[in-house]
Amino acid sequence: MNLPLALFFILMILLMNQSMSLNKKAISVLIQILLLFIGGLFYFYSFFGRFFSLEFASRFLGIITLFIFIFINHRRMKQIEKEKGEQERECNLIQQEFLTYSDKEEDVQASIQQLISSVEQTSSAYKATLAMSSTLDFNETLESYVKGLIQMEGFQKLHLILAESDSSEENGASSAVLRAYRCSVSNPVLESYPCSQAEEVVFSRMRHEKNIQTVSDPVQFGLVASSFDICSSMGAHVVPLYFQTDFLGVLVYFNDKRTAFENQLELLSLHFSMEIKKSRLYEKIKRLSTIDSLTSTYLKRHFLPLFEEEIKRHKGKKTIFSVVMMDVDHFKSINDQHGHLMGDHVIQEIGRILKSRCREEDLISRFGGDEFTLILPGASLTESLQIVERIKKAIAKLVFNPGTSTEFKVTISAGIAFFPESGEDRDKLLEAADQALYKAKREGGDRIQMTEG
């Protein structure tokens, strides 16, 4: 009976040892020792009960059980230390992975921010190109270009040096002049300023460059610090502006972070160069449709609507103005004796005199052939006579073919009508001035005739 009972206790110990999880081992050891002691006591006494007393058996098994407990505890401590070491290694691996993921996350976040910034810069450049493409006006194109540049990351200031075509008043030829513009973070409004030798040097230096020059030290590069208001620590990008083979100007773009988006900068500059060319072509076509190419005065078809506007304006303000019609005396004989090229030269010189002797607000038109029409806003009878007399005397001083046997001079005749005395509409005023002109011609020319009444 004792043997089956002892076997039962031993079986219970084995089952408990197999079923217990690691986190319950400490409690299960005590229970196992107790069961082992009781089971061992019954087992030992069942075989040796005839030779030893129960007290001796219990003491002997107690000692054996103690050694077993010490052995099991020692094994258990080693296992715990081993498990603790494995847990520490796992913790270290997890910590290293966490730090690695943290570093990667920072890199990913930085990449995302860089991507967002790049997208914003590209979007800004795209909007600027759309704005430039939507207009033919040079000033609007320039404003859109500069707005796109200002929105780029790291912008500090910029200088723009452009070659522009102006019509020469002296000979009608086109001559290239430089115009400079600037703006900055503190003053983002684009302003024009006089070109100095510093701008001319930069323009000349970049004439044969095709690529963007990234400059870490602008002063050493040759940009004059006093002219460009810079210091050596300020980075710059010097961009030549080309359209095909035409050199149009230079952009000097200062960037305090030295991280300008060169792709966007190049894109904007290429598009701006194209739009400059397009706007200048438009201005040229517009000029040809409104301005007489020989005299740089208004064509008749453009002058007549302006005449109507002046009438409306003076009617509303109840002010006066005068209308002058003039032509060259005996112009046909000039063409016959000296040729039509000389006749064109005479007309060209008269146009120059008219533009230089008239006031800024006066309107001048070549009405056809050798005939010119002037509108003198706000001019009284006396003022009108003074202006026309000044023109007449300046033309009389012109000498053509000087120092030759064919040297000659020219004179003009003029008729003056007044608003509203001579009429309150365009046709009546023109007819009145024309009648006064023909009266001056009939009386021998080289004179000024005002309308009667």
Domain ranges of the chain: 2-95, 138-289, 298-450
- Whole-structure pTM value: 0.54
Rounded to an integer, the average pLDDT of 78-101 is 78
Q: 58 or 156: which carries more pLDDT confidence?
A: 156
| DSSP state for residue 451 in the 8-state scheme | P
The answer regarding whether domain 298-450 maps to CATH 3.20.19.10 reads: no
Q: 390 or 189: which carries more pLDDT confidence?
A: 390
Q: Is 447 exposed, middle or buried (0-12, 13-18, 19+ CB in 10 A)?
A: middle
Domain 138-289 -> CATH class: alpha beta
CB 388 within 8 A of CB 403: no
Q: Give the type of residue at 283.
A: E
Query: Could you tell me the sign of the dihedral formed by the alpha carbons of 154, 269, 144, 249, in that order?
Result: positive
CB 435 within 8 A of CB 428: no
Q: Give the type of residue at 269.
A: S
d(CA 414, CA 323): 10
Q: What is the pairing mode between strands 213-215 and 412-419?
A: unpaired
d(CA 58, CA 373): 144
Task: Identify which of 250-254, 263-267, 440-444 has the greatest average pLDDT.
Answer: 440-444
What stretches of 165-296 show up as alpha helix (H) in DSSP?
197-205, 218-221, 225-228, 262-290
- What is the reported pLDDT for 24? 55
- What is the reported pLDDT for 156? 82
Instruction: Give the residue among 152, 162, 118 at the shortest CA–CA distance from 235.
Output: 152
233, pLDDT greater than 70: no
d(CA 179, CA 199): 9
Percent of the chain past pLDDT 70, that is, above it, reads 72
d(CA 172, CA 188): 37
Give the 3-state secondary structure of residue 1.
coil
Token readout for 228 is: 């460009």
Rounded to an integer, the average pLDDT of 89-117 is 72
pLDDT, the chain, mean: 79
d(CA 198, CA 239): 16
Task: Identify which of 18-22, 83-87, 181-185, 338-342 has the greatest average pLDDT.
Answer: 338-342
**Exposure of 56 in the CB half-sphere (CA atoms within 13 A):** 7
Which residues is 184 bridged to in the sheet? 157
d(CA 326, CA 432): 13
| DSSP state for residue 51 in the 8-state scheme | T
Give the 3-state secondary structure of residue 236.
strand
At 148, the pLDDT band (50, 70, 90 cuts) reads confident
At 92, the pLDDT band (50, 70, 90 cuts) reads confident
CB 350 within 8 A of CB 328: yes
d(CA 263, CA 214): 13
- What is the reported pLDDT for 415? 95
